[in-house]
């Protein structure tokens, strides 16, 4: 059960002109489930992406990077679940390439115009014959209103499909932004999440699009952690079809700030949905670190808290074991940190409790206050480092029996 998240209804996910999606059951790992998606892009679409920094990056990630570096127009994305095609060596590259070839043939485009994505079990060969055999059904299914189905077809251990959509009026034009994501475990993205796809019918110049995909990742998928494990397949792709007629050539184009905010808003919604559906999650925790010298040190403190199994099990137990939070701040690796200047609050909605100051427990703190906040499903841990003006946010979930159960059972 995700924490305060439900998949939007199909009609809430607005079609993006120029982008069609088709899904199929290809039996890639298990029969009888939707596991293959093709996203077909009209001519004129621009695409930019960010990918995992894991050195064991998957074969499809390697091909995506290569195709985007070559440049030229991207015309299709193909996504399978079940098998990640990671840790598969040269045969894995061949399998990803065969996938691109098959998609290109069906759509009458070139191999290098296809971006492949895989998610699922690592170190197992991709059953490329079954995948290729499923592609015609995907292509037959192509339609602009299949975002809801596609959100389902890219799931692995996710318990809910994740999607977000909004429409904004910019300079007299209606711009649509719709996206989907997947991921629940092996989540500590580094440049992107497991898989995230956002499309807009705004037109965005390629250099600006490349910048925007990074900025959006930094505010969303690069701020989340379930278990601190960076996946081999993390990919986040932003597509701009231009078919709304709203065109953005540079960051100075009127209305761009509005578009940027809307794209980042969708990315944050999709990233948070991954945490709300984090394996075994019963709580959604925002760690807000303020007044650091620079963003990077704020992020380190945020991740130290967000990764700590001790902090996360305390949240699971609704136990205000605040010493664990202070210990995590202390080992975040900021060598010259003066703990006497730090203040820490626990917050839930309007309920704000100062828990630590002057290197220890706040004199006003009473355990009932901490316990009351800890019982909520949405909690903010606010840390004031008291030494600068930078800030960062990290989103995480608690650590429950079910995390262990899910990960001890996965594959079996």
Catalytic residues: 193
Is 289 near a copy of itself (CB under 8 A)?
no
13: helix, coil or strand?
A: coil
Please tell me the total number of residues recorded for the chain in this structure. Answer: 412
Cβ 54 to a copy of itself shortest distance, Å: 4
User: If binding is defined by CB under 8 A, does position 244 make contact with a copy of itself?
Assistant: no
Minimum distance from residue 297 beta carbon to a copy of itself (Å) = 12
Q: Which of 21, 175, 186, 198 binds a copy of itself (CB under 8 A)?
A: 186
Q: Which two tokens stand for residue 384?
A: 């004031």
**For 390, which DSSP code?**
E
What is the SS3 assignment for 341? Answer: helix
What CA–CA distance (Å, rounded) separates 235 from 252? Answer: 28
119: contact with a copy of itself by CB under 8 A: no
Q: Which residues lie below 8 Å from residue 409, measured CB to CB, with a gap of 6+?
A: none
Q: How many CB atoms lie within 10 A of CB 310?
A: 13
Site for a copy of itself (CB under 8 A): which residue of 31, 351, 359, 366? 359
Please report whether residue 111 would count as binding a copy of itself according to CB under 8 A.
no
Cβ contact 88:96 at 8 Å: no
Residue from 17, 121, 133, 390 touching a copy of itself (CB under 8 A): that is: 121
* In the complex, least distance from residue 182 CB atom to a copy of itself, rounded to whole angstroms: 17
Q: At closest approach, how far in Å is the CB of 339 from a copy of itself?
A: 5
Structure tokens at 52: 């995992």
Q: Is the dihedral of CA 63, 183, 16, 137 positive or negative?
A: positive
CB of 124 to a copy of itself, least distance (A): 8
**What radius of gyration do the chain's Cα atoms show?**
22
Among 12, 27, 65, 87, binds a copy of itself (CB under 8 A): 87
The strand pairing partners of 384, in sequence order, are 290, 343
If one asks whether residue 94 binds a copy of itself (CB under 8 A), the answer comes out as no
Distance in angstroms (rounded) separating the CA atoms of residues 282 and 301: 23
Q: What is the footprint of a copy of itself within residues 361-380 (CB under 8 A)?
A: 361
**Minimum separation from the CB atom of position 91 to a copy of itself (A):** 7
- Residues of this chain, 204-243, that bind a copy of itself according to CB under 8 A: 227-232
Task: Detail the residues annotated as belonging to a binding site for substrate.
Answer: 156, 182, 193, 279, 407, 412
Candidates 12-20, 122-130, 146-154, 240-248: pick the segment binding a copy of itself (CB under 8 A). 122-130
**Where does this chain touch a copy of itself (CB under 8 A) — which range of 28-36, 102-110, 193-201, 335-343?**
335-343
Contact partners, residue 23, CB within 8 Å, separation at least 6: 34, 36, 37, 38, 138, 141, 146, 149, 150, 152, 153
**Residue 401 in the binding site for a copy of itself (CB under 8 A):** yes
User: Token pair for residue 164?
Assistant: 């977000």
Distance CA 213, CA 261 (A): 12
Tokens of 296: 């990077």
Q: Look at residues 53, 113, 118, 115 and name the one whose alpha carbon lies nearest to residue 92.
A: 118
Q: Quick one: how far is CA 175 from the chain centroid?
A: 22
Span interacting with a copy of itself, options 13-21, 244-252, 254-262, 304-312, rule CB under 8 A: 304-312
Q: Which is closer to a copy of itself, CB of 267 or CB of 328?
A: 328
Q: Which stretch binds a copy of itself (CB under 8 A): 48-56, 104-112, 247-255, 267-275?
A: 48-56
Which residues contact a copy of itself (rule: CB under 8 A)? Answer: 53-57, 84, 86-92, 121-124, 185-186, 188, 190, 227-232, 307-310, 313-314, 316-317, 319, 321-324, 326-332, 334-335, 337, 339-340, 356, 358-361, 399-401, 403-405, 407-412
């Amino acid at each position: 059960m995700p924490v305060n998240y439900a998949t939007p209804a199909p009609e809430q996910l607005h079609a993006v002109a120029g982008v069609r999606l088709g899904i199929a059951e290809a039996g890639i790992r298990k029969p009888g489930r939707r596991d293959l998606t093709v996203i077909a892009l009209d001519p004129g679409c621009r695409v930019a992406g960010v990918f995992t920094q894991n050195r064991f990056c998957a074969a499809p990630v390697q091909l995506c990077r290569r195709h985007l570096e070559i440049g030229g127009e991207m015309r299709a994305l193909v996504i399978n679940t079940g098998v990640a095609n990671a840790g598969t060596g040269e045969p894995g590259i061949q399998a990803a390439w065969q996938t691109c070839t098959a998609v290109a043939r069906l759509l009458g485009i070139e191999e290098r115009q296809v971006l492949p994505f895989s998610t699922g079990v690592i170190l197992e060969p991709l059953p490329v014959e079954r995948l290729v055999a499923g592609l015609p059904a995907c292509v037959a299914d192509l339609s602009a209103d299949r975002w809801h189905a596609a959100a389902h077809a890219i799931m692995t251990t996710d318990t809910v499909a994740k999607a977000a959509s909004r429409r904004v009026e910019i300079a007299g034009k209606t711009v649509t932004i719709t996206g989907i994501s997947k991921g629940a475990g092996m989540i500590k993205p580094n440049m992107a999440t497991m898989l995230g796809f956002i499309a807009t019918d705004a037109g965005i110049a390629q250099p600006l699009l490349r910048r925007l995909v990074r900025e959006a990742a930094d505010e969303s998928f690069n701020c989340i952690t379930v278990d601190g494990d960076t996946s081999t397949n993390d990919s986040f792709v932003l597509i701009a079809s231009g078919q709304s007629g709203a065109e953005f050539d540079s960051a100075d184009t009127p209305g761009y700030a509005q578009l940027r905010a809307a794209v980042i808003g969708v990315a944050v919604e999709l990233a948070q949905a991954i945490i709300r559906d984090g394996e075994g999650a019963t709580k959604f925790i925002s760690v807000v670190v303020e007044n650091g010298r620079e963003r990077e040190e704020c992020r380190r403190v945020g991740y130290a808290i967000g990764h700590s199994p001790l902090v996360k099990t305390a949240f699971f137990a609704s136990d205000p074991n605040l010493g664990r939070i202070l210990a995590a701040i202390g080992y975040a690796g900021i060598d010259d940190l003066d703990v006497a200047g730090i203040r820490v609050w626990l917050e839930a909605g309007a309920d704000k409790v100062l828990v630590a100051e002057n290197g220890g427990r706040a004199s006003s703190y009473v355990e009932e206050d901490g316990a009351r906040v800890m019982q909520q499903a949405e909690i903010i841990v606010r840390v004031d480092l008291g030494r600068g003006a930078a800030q960062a946010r990290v989103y995480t979930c608690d650590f429950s029996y079910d995390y262990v159960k899910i990960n001890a059972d996965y594959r079996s």
